[in-house]
Amino acid sequence: MMIMLNRLHSFFLFFIISQFLFSQECVDASQVFIPESPSFSSVDFYELNSDLVITDMINDGIIYEDLILIPIYNLEPTIGYDDLDVVSSYQFNLVYNHQILSFLDGFLENVNFADFYNLNSLPPTVSDVSNGGLFSSNNIVLNDTTSILSIAYATSQTISMNTVDFGTLLYIPFDLISNGCSEIKISDGLIDGQYVFPNQTKTMLISNVDYTNCTNNSVNLCFNCLDNNDNLICDELEIILGCTDEMACNYNPNVTDDDGSCFYPNDCGDCLNPGLIQTIDIPFGWSLFSTFICPFEPGIDDVTNDLVLEDNLVIVKDENGNVYWPIFELNTIGDLENGKAYLIKMDNASSLDISGDTLGYDYPLNLDSGWSYLGYLHQDSYSVEYLFSSTVDNLVIMKDSQGNVYWPMFFINTIDFMNPGEGYQINMSDNISFSYPSPSEEGRYFNDINNYFSNFSNPINTGNNMTIGIPEGVWSEKPVLGDEILVFDNTNLLVGSDFYREEGTVITVWGDDETTFEKDGISIGENLRFYIYNSFNNLLEQIFIPSWQVGTGNYQINGISIASSLSFDYTTEKNIVKVTDLIGREISPETINSFLLFIYDDGTVYQQYILK
């Protein structure tokens, strides 16, 4: 129960704390009858609108402006019950918030004294020290906010509860030191498994009779503030995060602090209209996806819920390394960000339906320098060169899910077209604000397929890669169109491949997948081993890159390495000592469909793979 106390002038008194309300079921204190709330009308006369006069029983009275009296009383006198008709003693403990109230030990006898009642027109209490009664009290701090007060009273001049208006046992004086809320609780003093006052272990003991079961133990009091949710925090001091903008779809009038979560009709359309649905095909394994939809339920767990229910979704990552990992109930992504792409891994291919309203294709996007994930906002496919023509000077490189690149520096574009539903990794030289240009026939999609087919299995898309650039000018002997550049790790696992291009060759090298137990890509820091497949002679020859214009020959996630020299390591000064297979057995140099190790007299080893 929560009660608010307001001041009409400098002081306003309100007494509701604990009542000993007895009925036929509570004669011997072994049974309990506790009302749900007190009768407010019965205590209205306790509300004062003037300062209380306190007397020290010797000198003249003084006015105390911040006095709060908390009474212990019985709303209905216990007529007919002899065990509580006459009070000779009592003791109990009271727990309260000492940041709000401070117990006035020196005033306990003053406010339970005939002069005090008369000066302030208050009803008398059972505990009238003018009749010879004596108080003792002990106040102990429990922690930073809470204290416990023990009060005991004894008298030789017993008084019947029935002779006192409303059965008031005593007034407890407090100093109001701060506006706020406090729970006032009558307690047996058992705190953390130990009694604070070993000689007082009953909730309420009157005339040596235990009335614990007849005690309404606690009430929440708020001074000069409201606490509508009854959590002992003044509403005006309570921090509630959310959207404070009345123009937003998710405006909340109860919010105190804006957390940046507002979304608006001009971002997501009609707040109540689900708009349209974009269906995105998500392949098996790793890929990047994005949407031109602004979902009304933007949480990544809401957006991908169907994939989770199908047991197809493994993990989702954003550009900052945050993850949504359903199997571990881990979600550090939160909401989808408009215009961003997300890296996803699937156990099976599936379709993702995202409902909401359409984002404008020209929705403003902030592209930071370095790497980030970029979403695609057009509803049709357009040429990447057209879409980034205005910002090409700031674009270092762009990659798609398959490792294709748009690399303006080398005039290389294996992405060709950006497509709805797909996502991209982009590396910018500067921070820029970017918007996709308007649709144009100039950049519209057309089919352009090369006629080269690889003689090797495709490397596994593991969700992380680096880019290798081999400029045309570094070749000592130029390959021919159709020749294929291959990259292996130290275990002869194929981790990257692409065809030779006259404008410059780009190879995407795939790193090891951290979510699998087997090695399915090259490890971070591992040395890259390069080969060229001669399509005319069916010959696989090792090539060497001794120096790099940018980067190194070791794998780094999202690394960019550009060769500055390249060699086939042919020499007429070396002589072949022997030719072996990979386990050291001497074999004929004419052997086909096998790796051959050519061992020279200078100690170097040259590796080839001869195809049939």
For residue range 325-336, what is the model confidence (pLDDT) as tens digits? 999 999 999 999
Q: How far apart are CA 564 and CA 504, in angstroms?
A: 12
**pLDDT score at 453:** 58
How close are the terminal C-alpha atoms of the chain, in Å? 89
pLDDT (mean) for 410-430: 93
Range with the poorest average pLDDT among 86-95, 138-147, 384-393: 86-95
The string of DSSP codes covering 494-560 is EEEEEE--TT-EEEEEEBPPTTSSS--SBPTTPBPEEEEEETTTTEEEEEB---EEES-SB--TT-E
Which residue ranges form the domains of the chain, and what is each CATH number? Answer: 2-223 (no CATH), 239-273 (no CATH), 274-449 (no CATH), 465-563 (2.60.40), 576-610 (no CATH)
Name the band, by pLDDT with cuts 50, 70 and 90, for residue 65: low
How many residues are listed for the chain in this entry?
612
Higher pLDDT, 324 or 182: 324
What is the three-class DSSP state of 423?
A: coil
Could you give the angle at the alpha carbon of 475 between the alpha carbons of 474 and 479, nearest 5°?
145
CA distance 305 to 326: 10
What's the pLDDT band for 64 if we cut at 50, 70, 90?
Answer: low
Label residue 116 by pLDDT band (50, 70, 90): confident
Residue 315 pLDDT level (bands cut at 50, 70, 90): very high
**pTM for the model:** 0.49
Q: Quick one: average pLDDT of 406-412?
A: 89
Q: What CA–CA distance (Å, rounded) separates 376 from 187?
A: 64
- pLDDT tens sequence across 451-505: 455 667 888 899 999 999 999 889 988 899 989 999 999 999 999 999 998 888 9
Q: What is the model's pLDDT at position 573?
A: 52
Let me know: does 420 contact 372? Beta carbons within 8 Å: no
Q: What gap in Å lies between CA 90 and CA 95, rounded to an integer?
A: 17
What is the pLDDT confidence band of residue 222, given thresholds at 50, 70 and 90?
A: confident
Amino acid 608: pLDDT: 63
Task: Please check the confidence at residue 224 and state whether its pLDDT lies above 80.
Answer: no
Q: How sure is the predictor about 86, in pLDDT bands with cuts at 50, 70 and 90? A: confident
Q: Report the pLDDT value the prediction gives residue 604, as an integer from 0 to 100.
A: 62
- The confidence score (pLDDT) of residue 198 equals 86
Which tokens go with 254?
Answer: 């109860």
What does the mean pLDDT of the chain come to? 79
Residue whose token pair is 């000689």: 199
Residue 181 has pLDDT above 70, yes or no: yes
User: Residue 470 has what pLDDT?
Assistant: 93
Higher pLDDT, 89 or 214: 89
Q: What pLDDT was estimated at residue 30? A: 28
- Overall average pLDDT of the 364-389 stretch: 94
Beta bridge partners of 307: none
Place of tokens 């606690």: 218
Q: Flag whether pLDDT at 383 surpasses 70.
A: yes
Whether pLDDT at 10 is above 70 = no
Closest CA to 408 of 422, 429, 424, 433: 429
- One-character DSSP codes across 44-105: GGG--SSPEEE--SSS--EEETTEEEEEEE-SS--TT-HHHHEEEEEEEEEEEETTTEEE-G
CA distance 149 to 147: 7
pLDDT band at 571 (very low <50, low <70, confident <90, very high): very low
pLDDT tens per residue, range 431-462: 999 999 998 766 554 444 444 556 678 888 99
Q: Is the pLDDT of residue 430 over 90?
A: yes
| Residues of the chain above pLDDT 70, percent | 77
Greatest Cα pair distance, the chain, in angstroms, is 126
Q: How confident is the model at residue 249 (pLDDT cuts 50, 70, 90)?
A: confident
Average pLDDT over residues 166-189: 83
pLDDT, one tens digit per residue, over 510-525 is: 999 988 889 999 999 9
Output the pLDDT for position 610: 55
Query: In this predicted structure, what is the pLDDT of residue 446?
Result: 44
Question: Higher-confidence residue: 602 or 266?
Answer: 602
Q: Of all residues in the chain, what percent carry a pLDDT higher than 90?
A: 39
pLDDT tier at 273 (50, 70, 90 boundaries)?
Answer: low
pLDDT at 340 over 90: yes
Predicted local distance difference test score (pLDDT) of residue 44: 31
